[in-house]
Structure 1
Amino acid sequence: MKELLRQAKVAEIESFMDQQADPCSDFYSFSCGNFAKINSALKLDVSAVGLFETMTNGFDRKILKMLNTTHDNHDTLEDIQVKHFFKSCLRLKELNSTYTAKMKRLIAEFGTMPVLEGSSWKEEDFDWLGTTARISHRYGITPIFGVEVTSDQADNQRNVIYLGEQEFYLESRSMYMDNSTLNYREKYRTKIEGVLKDFLGLKVELAKQTAKELLDFEVDLAQGIEDTTQVYSLGELTELLTVAEVHKRYEPILDIERLVSISMGETITEQIYEYNKRYQQNLVEVIKRTPKRIIANYIFFRLIWEFVESPSDKPKKQKQDCVHLTKKFFVNNVDNMFYRRYNNENSSREIDKMWRQLKETFNETLHSSSTLDWIEPPTRKLAIAKLETMTLQINNYVWENFTEEFEGLNLQSSDLVDNMLQIQLLRTRQTREKLHKQSKPLEIDEMLSFTPAYLQSENAIKMPVAMLQPFYMWSDVYPTAVLFGTLAPIIGHELIHGFDEGGKSYDAQGNYNDWWDEESNSNFVKGRECFTKQYGRYKYDGIQLKESTAQSENIADNGGMRVAFTAYRKWYESQGTKDLTKETLPKLPYTGKQLFFISFAQTLCNDIDPKLKVKQLSIDTHMPDKLRLIGTLSNYDEFSKEFNCPAGSPMNPNEKCVLY
């Protein structure tokens, strides 16, 4: 059996590679040259194919089986409610015409929508800010802008109010502003039009006209979103003020005192954080020039947007959609359910062991003044202390009190909309109550259910339970080189985030604190400029990339891979005279160290739907995977040494960028 598993891994590695390609000219083509041919996103009718997508698909298949089964011995009362929610999603078509009535009743809780009322709608009766605040108080939805309760960036033991912008469907400023992303805005407009027709019963022409007005208004609002290609410290984006002080800035257009008191259901005397004041400044001007009718339509559209779901005509797709929706609302519960059923102790041990090895390796690097000579001794000492307290945690939620979280919920399998309303009502009340309670770990969203993340405010790396699945990256029958080449750079990447342009603003306790000395910080900025120029020279699918000062992901890619290889080399050298034949694989003529780099490369083998490439560049802070690989390895002398790449070759340029 073990030999069969090794042979299967050989077949996979070999199938992705183009061994005729020159590894010193283009290591991505060498390691991943055949990947897209056998894993075409277009042919598979998916947006993207890669390691994390494959691992998530495997995870979702297990989740579907788990949610689809009748109640078993593993089920808690809360698990049963989650299963009811899933089943109500599968029965979505049964709502039929009642869906429109439900959405209209939801709107009627807060007033009337001009596009539904026509000429009888009274502009003078509409209070846009009060309506937004009441929606926020009841359902936690903040059309245009509003408040949120979460941990204080300067003292993560307490919770505080943040005031700022709504969530934007297209995510980034460039998606709303750039000519190259116009087609995505058009698709979004069509989606808005469909919601207005299907869920509010508008006629085609009226839906079209209204959708255009709503999108134009949202584009106007998006002028105030921060530019993600630029580096902003949290101190630059947030300011701690009294409610009265924020109110004074924007009166009479924005009545901040009323917004906060209605949203929270109480008068707030403590200071709050204003986030990205550029957004509020832009909002004042947008409100002045926008007809109340459009503002009202937008607010009510954003309200129902959170509760509209269209069932697929394909049963398989409908099940997949319902798994995703269940994860969206109950990601912690679903991960915990998975962990209790599929927990693999070997996986947990391997991840913990890997973490300790990487932490020890980076600790040695921080202690070595010759390796990181650009960091001054006082800052180095604080960095060592921060690393010491940094933790890695599996997101299994065994500590979570789900009984308390579900208190008052009565989810049934018949009505999805009623279930969603119940959940929003309960969670919004619980969020408000957090203001007077000690802070808890941050809520994890669905994205972090399948990808690791470093959380600055906790000084912790969170690893998803999906990564406990064997064979995607690790197995005790694979060479250690494969384990170090796949899992270690992923963990190392998150470790380095603790010391990148964002992470270095948080101390060992996870509080926002400028602990870097001026000289070390200046050296960091100089090193970052090298990455800005390097990655700004690249082209992706013929598109010239923009120079960006935001280089956190590239710094983490480079530093994480270096820490991983150093840890592997230490392990390899510690084996002494032991037989290391298992560090090679049959039919693959590569050393253990070469296999490390091939394995690392194949975590980045990827194919994406060509239509999504411009969007990827606009919203993803990571480089496209091919450029992540080429950029990282072309900066590393140890890689060039293992593959004998001549100086000046594409993968061994004379100028290299190095920070960690």
Structure 2
Amino acid sequence: MSILIKYWWLFICVCILVCARISATPAKLNRVKNIPDKLTELEIDTMRAAKTASIITFMNTDTNPCDDFYKFACGKWNRVNPATTVDHLTTGLFEELLQLLDRKVEKLLTNDTEFKYNAIDKKVKDFFVSCVNLVKLKDNYKQKLVDLIAEFGEMPALTGNTWNADDFDWVETIARIARRYGKDIILGMDVMADFKDNSVNRVYIGQADLPLESRAMYLEDSTAIYRESYKKKIRKELVKFLDMDMALATKTANEIVDFEISLARGLIDDALGLSLDELSKFTTIELMEAKYGAVVNITKLVNITLGEVVREPVYEYAQVYQENLKRAIPDTPKEVLANYIFYTLISDFLIDLDKTTQRQKKTCIEKTKSYFAKNVDNMVYRRYSSRKTERDVEYMWKKLKETFKTTLLSDKLNWIAEPTRQYALEKLQALRLDINSYTEHNFTEEFGELVTNDHDYMANVLALLHMNTKREFNKLHEPPKPIEAGEILSYTPANILIENVIKVPVSILQPYLLWGDNYPTAVKFGTLGALVGHELIHAFDDSGRRFDKDGNSRDWWDVDSTEIFLNRTECFSDQYSKYYYGGRLLPKTVSQSENIADNGGMRLAYRAYMRWFEDALRANDDISMEQLPNFPYNNKQLFFISFAQIWCNDVHPEVKNLQTSTDQHVPGEFRVIGPLSNYEKFAEEFKCALGTPMNPEHKCEIY
């Protein structure tokens, strides 16, 4: 149940939606073994030489850095890590981090003899083993799926002429499913903190998440190929898991997708950049019933789902979606509605069981992480954490905050009125950074009542969903708790605007891709520093500036500063909409949150690094480690090369339209070219003449 999550924090990982939806596997990756904490001088030299070799491997130094810095820094990436097959649809740094993490997770979920498992860890292990053991039970799996459907009714495509449309109440059916297992179908419902007063929880009712993510994926001609693939996937699953004949499966799949397309006509267009204030209306169940009751019995939906009569005000989210429902539902035959609801109910359980053992393990690792994200992160942290790395991150965070404070006080931002700047300083002071280790989390309280086994995967999932759903609806009578985003917070830094906190996952701190004790500080600030800086800037971008220091939605910017801010935002909109990708221009969008954060985060990280470097020079500290062995670029140039290589990636040609239709981040090459071409310090270091592609006369800048 998550109709509002994406508006409360902003993601950093490029292709995040593409990777999650397609489950792409990284291509050839450098294998990194566990390395002891204490190294000899020879081992340190060897590691630093290896880092030099790794950086140079991906560079194409035949390219002039002033013409195209992405090709200069990442020009050979796709030769080493090509995205050319179904298994390798996207490759990049985050895929590498994910694969390294998964190797650790697999060891922990099987039997790591060096790890001390507690009672809750063992439940997580049982869940994983039950998933792996699905292969042994595949002959009985259809019956389990049919039994799940039977909890809530009958699926017309299975029962045929005996199905009685008069007995089917679609609102009651989706409400009972949501009440039991927390699955939103057609219409979403959440209990979350009031975004205007995060001291209380409210009910939010509105737009549900759809599998293809966005309006563009359902409605644009350029994405038709993905809709056809989606239909084929559903058809294949209906035949394989429910024994439908091909003709009936084809008809049913087509009807399911066509109905979903009709729902998608009401989806919010992310390109419009609408705020939570603009998308959410404070109202009552009675008023919503008056608007939609002829088609959607809102009172029945809420009462059954929550198990009580709600008399407090609620938020209606994305009114345009509900207005569209008033047209889509009457135009849809009841049997199509029923088939859609029951297919959606079982869709999470349709796991391909004809895989090799290793491929089945990979699927089951993903499933375990999705249901037990916090537990898995905590296990990884307990097994592999380095306090030294954490101290480094804390030091970097301190430098980033100090540097941004200096920026806010500088004449460079004198276009922001003094009262607004003073409140920005208060918000910055209150902004926190947490590493998602969950060391203080009470897992026994959360999972103590959960019963798992190592042989019945579906029973495990249903028990977990039922437990989580009860906890979700109990929140209506409890004070708000920190937002839980499951697996998303496990592999990407995030700024949770409603809490004014930045979360850093344990996966991002794995040595030795971004991080290494003996790497130059330029590398650390150019990589993790830029990522965390990106999230810091989100607190002050076109979305974050609408939230105050306590995480409540409030406009604290004065009118004149806002006007200048919006004008500067338009500069980014114009700049990025002129980039070509996959044979077409990037879509022009109102919201520029990610581009503002990319630009501001890189600049902030560079300024913070230079503060560190200049302090070290003044203190006569040894800075010899800032120069990598046999690396023909200085430490400042190394910062920019390291930053660029965060976004080295390759994307299968058939995925490019999917990427630009579902991801609010621009493709990796423009996350390099855009920010660096806007930054005069970059041009100075690489001696790019004014007017060259990487040093245009007109530049975009906010922070």
Same fold (TM over 0.5): yes
Deviation at 1:325, TM superposition (A): 0.6
* 2:582/2:657 contact within 8 Å kept: no
Give the structure 1 partner of residue 672 of structure 2: 629
Q: Distance in 1 between matches of 2:517 and 2:136?
A: 48
- Name the SS for the 2:270 alignment partner: coil
1:95 Cα deviation from its structure 2 partner? 1.7
* Structure 2 residue matching 1:288: 3-state secondary structure: coil
Match of 1:456 in 2: 497
Residue number in structure 2 paired with 1:552: 593
1:282-297 maps to which residues of 2 (within 5 A)? 282-297=324-339
Shift of 1:372: 0.9
Is this contact kept in 2: 1:133–1:146, CA < 8 A? no
Measured after TM superposition, the shift of residue 448 of structure 1 is: 2.0
70-79 vs 124-133, which moves further: 70-79
1:272 equivalent in alignment to 2:304: no
Unaligned runs of 5+ in 1: none
Secondary structure of the residue that 1:151 maps to in structure 2?
Answer: strand
The equivalent of 2:19 in structure 1 is none
The within-5 A match list for 1:386-425 is 386-425=427-466
Distance 1:327 1:312, change over 3 A: farther
Map of 2:241 onto structure 1: 199
Contact 2:84 2:652 in 1 (8 A): yes
For 1:604 and 1:157, the matched residues in 2 are separated by 38
Identify the match of residue 113 of structure 1 among 128, 137, 155: 155
Cα distance change, pair 158–627 in 1 and its aligned pair in 2 (3 A): same
Instruction: Kindly report which structure 2 residues correspond to 1:155-170, keeping only aligned pairs within 5 A, or say none.
Output: 155-170=197-212
Task: Give distance in 2, aligned partners of 1:569 and 1:195.
Answer: 55
| SS class of match (1:161) | strand
Shift of 1:584: 1.5
Match of 1:561 in 2: 602
Task: Output one character per residue of 1:366-414: Cα deviation in whole Å (capped at 9) or x when no partner.
Answer: 112x111221111111111000000000001112111121132110000
- Aligned residue for 1:385, secondary structure, equals helix
Gaps of 5+ in 2: 1-42
Q: Distance in 1 between matches of 2:185 and 2:113?
A: 39
Aligned pair 1:371/2:412, yes or no? yes
Pick from 475, 478, 485: which aligns with 2:519? 478
Counterpart residue identity of residue 202, structure 2: V
Partner of 2:531: 490
Instruction: Indicate the larger mover: 443-452 or 136-145.
Output: 443-452
CA distance in structure 2 between the aligned counterparts of 1:559 and 1:151, rounded to whole angstroms = 29
Q: Answer yes or no: is the 8 Å Cα contact 1:74–1:340 preserved in 2.
A: no
Q: Distance in 2 between matches of 1:547 and 1:388?
A: 34
1:187 and 2:219 matched: no
Q: Report the counterpart of residue 543 of structure 1 in structure 2.
A: 584
64-73 or 215-224, larger mean C-alpha shift: 64-73
- Give the secondary-structure state (helix, strand or coil) at the position aligned to 1:568: helix
What is the deviation of 1:556?
0.1
Correspondence 1:19-418 to 2 at 5 A: 19-42=61-84, 45-69=87-111, 74-368=116-410, 370-418=411-459
1:515-561: per-residue Cα shift (whole Å, max 9, x none)? 11111111111000000000000101322112111111000000000
The separation in 2 between residues aligned to 1:107 and 1:474, in whole angstroms, is 48
In structure 2, what is the Cα distance between the partners aligned to 1:261 and 1:44?
45
Residue 585 (1) aligns with residue 628 (2): yes
Q: Which residue among 522, 526, 539 is the counterpart of 2:567?
A: 526
Shift of 1:587: 1.9
| Contact 1:157–1:438, Cα closer than 8 Å, also in 2 | yes
Contact 2:595/2:665, CA 8 A, preserved across alignment: yes
User: In structure 1, how many angstroms separate the alpha carbons of the residues matched to 2:272 and 2:253?
Assistant: 31
2-side partners of 1:408 and 1:571: how far apart? 50
Q: Which runs of 4+ in 1 moved over 6 A?
A: none
Find the residue that maps to 2:281 and give its secondary structure.
strand
Q: Does residue 610 of the first structure (1) align with residue 653 of the second (2)?
A: yes
Task: Report Cα offsets for 1:61-99 as digits up to 9, x if no partner.
Answer: 000011010677621111000000000111111222221
Q: TM-score, normalised by structure 2?
A: 0.92
- Alignment: residue pair count: 659
Judge which range, 283-292 or 212-221, deviates more.
Answer: 283-292
SS at match of 1:91: helix
Please list the CA deviations of residues 209-262 of structure 1 after superposition, one character each: whole Å capped at 9, or x if unmatched: 010001000000000001111110111100111111111111211111111011
Q: Secondary structure, in 3 states, of the residue corresponding to 1:428?
A: helix
Q: Structure 1 counterpart of 2:685, which letter?
A: E
Partner of 2:681: 638
C-alpha RMSD of the superposition: 1.3
- On the 8 A contact 1:344/1:469 being kept in 2, the answer is no
Identity percentage of aligned residues: 46
Q: Distance in 2 between matches of 1:619 and 1:628?
A: 16
Which piece of structure 1 moves more, 414-423 or 579-588? 579-588
By how many angstroms is 1:636 displaced?
0.2
